[in-house]
Amino acid sequence: MATKNRTPERRPRFMDRFALFSECLLTGVWIAVAALPLVTFPAAFAAGTRHLRRHLDGEHGGLREFARDARAAARGGWIAGASVGAAAALLALDLAAVRAGLPGGPLVGAVGILAMIGYLVAVVRAASCWEPGALWRTLLAEAGRNTVRDPAGSLLLVCGMAVVVLSGSLVLPLAVPVVGAVAAAATAVRARGLPGRAGRPLRQRLRHPPAVPGPLAPGGLRRRTDR
């Protein structure tokens, strides 16, 4: 009795995009929970962006892999998190000087706000490039240069962080999953600077998923199943 070989069909493009969207929201929840100690935010963000890269590449990964990456990134990433807290404290002093009416206070406050935004963008860029064994000092130095060299990518990250703040000001719990959108934006910004397949825009990677090989035809050739 002859049997027919069934091959998996490709999912519609809409389903792939919706799956990526839901994965981003879930990743945002993971990042928010792992970042509760505050100093672990860079490590949590690094684990989240690495999870999204695995998802885009079709590799297996879930909460266990995310937790493992977060622990590994926290070994040096807590210093980056502490530096963000120190920068926020300095910004608070600058804003206090503005409110006190000190001479030059508005200028110092504006410079402090811009510097804080730039440093947050650099930290986010560094976290999105983290891999096991990478040094955070090297990542931050390279991210600082890329923040200036790639103003379009930096503006995209600033807009993403602004959406998080706006969402939190409207409905505080809504800001938690929106963090995943910032992680997706950071993943896309990182991919723009990579050569080859990894550097293709996410839109192209979703538009052209890996082909599924068909069954073997007589003679050892594979039949085409994409017709």
Q: Could you report the per-residue pLDDT of 108-161, keeping only the tens digit for each?
A: 888 999 999 999 999 999 999 999 999 999 999 999 999 999 999 999 999 999
How far is residue 113's CA from residue 54's CA, in Å, rounded to a whole number?
34
At 126, list the tokens: 């560094």
Write the DSSP symbol of residue 174: G
At a CB cut-off of 8 Å and minimum separation 6, what does 92 contact?
A: none
How far is residue 156's CA from residue 8's CA, in Å, rounded to a whole number?
37
pLDDT tens readout for residues 6-51 = 444 455 676 777 788 889 999 999 999 999 988 999 999 999 999 9
- Are 84 and 42 in contact by the 8 Å Cβ rule? The answer is yes
Side-chain-side CA neighbours of 16 within 13 Å: the count stands at 18
- Are 136 and 125 in contact by the 8 Å Cβ rule? The answer is no
At 38, list the tokens: 């505050």
pLDDT tens readout for residues 160-187 = 999 999 999 999 899 999 999 999 999 9
Between 105-128 and 175-192, two packed helices, what is the crossing angle to 10 degrees?
70
Handedness of CA 107, 110, 114, 116 (dihedral sign): positive
How far is residue 180's CA from residue 68's CA, in Å, rounded to a whole number?
18
